[in-house]
């Protein structure tokens, strides 16, 4: 957790990382190991490339 935000990592052949509000995480029942669906708004996407 990062203050009011929660980092959510979804492994679906590629690793998706998202920051959501703590309130949203609680309302959705987001817990480690619980299956989730991921969707996004194209206007809200930030693509970052990590060096390996």
pLDDT, residue 51, reads 73
Q: Kindly report the pTM of this predicted structure.
A: 0.62
Burial of 30 (0-12, 13-18, 19+ CB in 10 A): middle
Report pLDDT digits (tens) over 1-52.
Answer: 567 899 888 888 888 888 889 999 899 888 888 888 887 788 877 777 777 6
Q: Tell me the C-alpha distance between 37 and 49, whole Å.
A: 23
**Domain boundary assignment for the chain:** 5-44
Q: How far, in Å, CA of 13 to CA of 16, rounded?
A: 9
């Amino acid at each position: 957790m990062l203050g009011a935000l929660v980092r959510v990592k979804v492994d679906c052949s590629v690793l998706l990382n998202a920051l959501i509000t703590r309130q949203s995480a609680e309302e959705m029942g987001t817990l480690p190991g619980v299956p989730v669906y991921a969707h996004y708004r194209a206007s809200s996407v930030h693509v970052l490339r990590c060096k390996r």
